[in-house]
A and B are shown apart, each in its own frame.
Chain A
Amino acid sequence: DVKVTQSSRYLVKRTGEKVFLECVQDMDHENMFWYRQDPGLGLRLIYFSYDVKMKEKGDIPEGYSVSREKKERFSLILESASTNQTSMYLCASSSFEGINEQYFGPGTRLTVT
């Protein structure tokens, strides 16, 4: 059974803290993605990666960075958390093969106070 896991379901951080969100997939997928989900806005792409040590900016990369040191792991970093980064964060992975269906993790609900 395919699986994408995220390090935390719920996270509360203070303004200015450095925050790490971890995502691991066990499907040997080449592609990995980070989204944030806000009511009325759907899912918006923050960053994505097609290979180890490779990253590309999505639609809303400001205030975020990523790291992909191993194929199965893709980390999202908030260098200095701000209250407007309070959101649901979803990680996904996909293969280059087939229809490129994305498999999602359970999400991390981050609150920045």
Chain B
Amino acid sequence: AQKITQTQPGMFVQEKEAVTLDCTYDTSDPSYGLFWYKQPSSGEMIFLIYQGSYDQQNATEGRYSLNFQKARKSANLVISASQLGDSAMYFCAMRVEGGKLIFGQGTELSVKP
């Protein structure tokens, strides 16, 4: 069965420190994509970063990087130099056939000043 698991319901990080949000996935398809979205308290879903299953290098977008370990089926999000504005819900998602997304349960990140 295709599944995304985020095991951290909530996380705290000190401002300016790095934080890793965990995501594991399960699929038997050789071709898939992994996304991370941010959802602030306002509710909109903001796309952060994408990793394709055939990509050789880990994806990076500014302060966001994706630690992709294919053999372990993990796709952890690393946020460097956390800012107060990073406080939000973060969702990991996997693209399956037909362009559908399967989402994890989400991790609520709180950045402390």
B95 contacts A100, C-beta separation under 8 Å: yes
Within the complex, which residue of A31, A40, A42, A107 is in contact with B44, where a contact is CB–CB below 8 Å? A107
Least CB separation from A108: chain B residue: B43
B-side contacts of A94, CB under 8 Å: 99
The answer, yes or no, to whether A52 is at the interface (CB within 8 Å) is no
B43 contacts A99, C-beta separation under 8 Å: no
CA distance A88 to B100 in the complex (A): 19
Per the CB 8 Å criterion, the residue count for chain A at the interface is 29
The A contact surface, by secondary structure, is strand
Q: List 21 A-B contacts (CB under 8 A).
A: A35-B103, A40-B9, A41-B105, A42-B4, A42-B103, A42-B105, A42-B106, A43-B91, A44-B103, A50-B98, A58-B100, A99-B50, A99-B52, A100-B33, A100-B95, A100-B99, A102-B101, A103-B47, A104-B45, A106-B44, A107-B43
Within the complex, which residue of A50, A56, A106 is in contact with B43, where a contact is CB–CB below 8 Å? A106
Q: How far is the CB of A78 from chain B (nearest CB, A)?
A: 19
Q: How far is the CB of B105 from chain A (nearest CB, A)?
A: 5
CA distance A31 to B100 in the complex (A): 9
B contact set with A: CB distance below 8 Å = 4, 6, 9, 33, 35, 37, 42-45, 47, 50, 52, 91, 93, 95, 98-106
Tally the A-B contacts, defined by beta carbons under 8 Å: 58
B-side contacts of A90, CB under 8 Å: 45
B47 contacts A101, C-beta separation under 8 Å: yes
Query: Which 5 pairs between the two chains have the least Cβ-Cβ distance?
Result: A104-B45, A42-B103, A100-B99, A43-B103, A107-B43
Q: Interface digits, A22-51 against B, CB 8 Å rule (1 contact, 0 not)?
A: 000000000101010000111111001010
